[in-house]
Amino acid sequence: MVAVIQCTDRVGLVAAIANVMAINGMNILSMREHVELGSSMFFSRLELSGEAAADIITTQLQQVLPTDAIVQVNPLPQKRIAVLVTKEYHCLGDILLRHHFNTLGASVQCVIGNHALLGDICGRFGIPFHHVPHDGIGKEQFEQNLLTTLLAYQFDYIVLAKFMRILSPAFTAHFPLRIINIHHSFLPAFIGASPYKQAFDRGVKLIGATAHYVTSDLDEGPIIAQQIIPVNHNFTAKDMVHAGREIETAVLARALSLLLADRVFVHNNKTIVFE
């Protein structure tokens, strides 16, 4: 069982939480906590063992914590995700492989692509694929078609696995802090089109990738995970693309593993991540 807590900080919170667990015969296997000093917000994640019901633990925690407390107690549920793609396969392939071997931490409910190219690989893994084209129609109609297709499924998160379309604020408003993107750059540098060409032209010595929440501000959502790798003068732009795909896959996988294990808290426009 995992409990995640977010509330205003005050003296005695850890003791109050531990007391609730002791009263209910729950053993605390792990407890991580963090206080944002600027805003006096308290964040905690606990791994527990015992027989108490999740709803009882939740109620009792809410009774002893500040009134603004957000408490979630989950018996390690299997999350569900929907995946949006365009043509690039590397991130999707990694997700499908992890799903197949039950190491993803979630079940893939569907894959939706604005091109039909990746339908075949989804079929090989037995995952429903829907082609929702964007050609010849306006953005509003495309997003309505996308929304209609998505809402036929139940999911906790939408994963943009190299989905190369900018989603409007009206669309993202349907899923606040539930859309995750892998960005082909170490944000905030080299955003926009052809990032590897920009990096190549600039002569950079490091390239990276960023997994973040999607918000109404393009590429400005809270960052979950980032990673960089060194490059040098021997790298061509094509070499950078290949290296970039490897790091994109790794960073998205890392971000999903943290998110799906309830290790990520969002506060304002930043994250607290208990790795």
pLDDT, tens only, 10-42: 999 999 999 999 999 999 999 999 999 889 999
Q: Where are the alpha helices (DSSP H) in 79-129?
A: 90-100, 119-124
Closest C-alpha to 8, from 32, 38, 28, 29: 38
Name the token pair of 19: 């007391």
> Is 219 tagged catalytic?
yes
Beta carbons within 8 Å of 88's beta carbon, 6+ residues apart: 162, 164, 245
Paired residues of 45 in beta bridges = 4, 32
Start-to-end CA distance of the chain, whole Å, equals 17
In this predicted structure, the answer to whether residue 152 has a pLDDT above a threshold of 90 is yes
* pTM (predicted TM-score): 0.90
CB 7 within 8 A of CB 69: yes
- The proportion of the chain whose per-residue pLDDT surpasses 70, expressed as a percent, equals 95
Which residue in 55, 201, 217, 219 is the catalytic one? 219
Closest C-alpha to 76, from 1, 21, 5, 26: 1
Average pLDDT over residues 52-72: 96
Encode pLDDT of 90-145 as tens digits: 999 999 999 999 999 999 999 999 999 999 999 999 999 999 999 999 999 999 99
Q: Cα–Cα distance between 265 and 274 in angstroms, integer?
A: 9
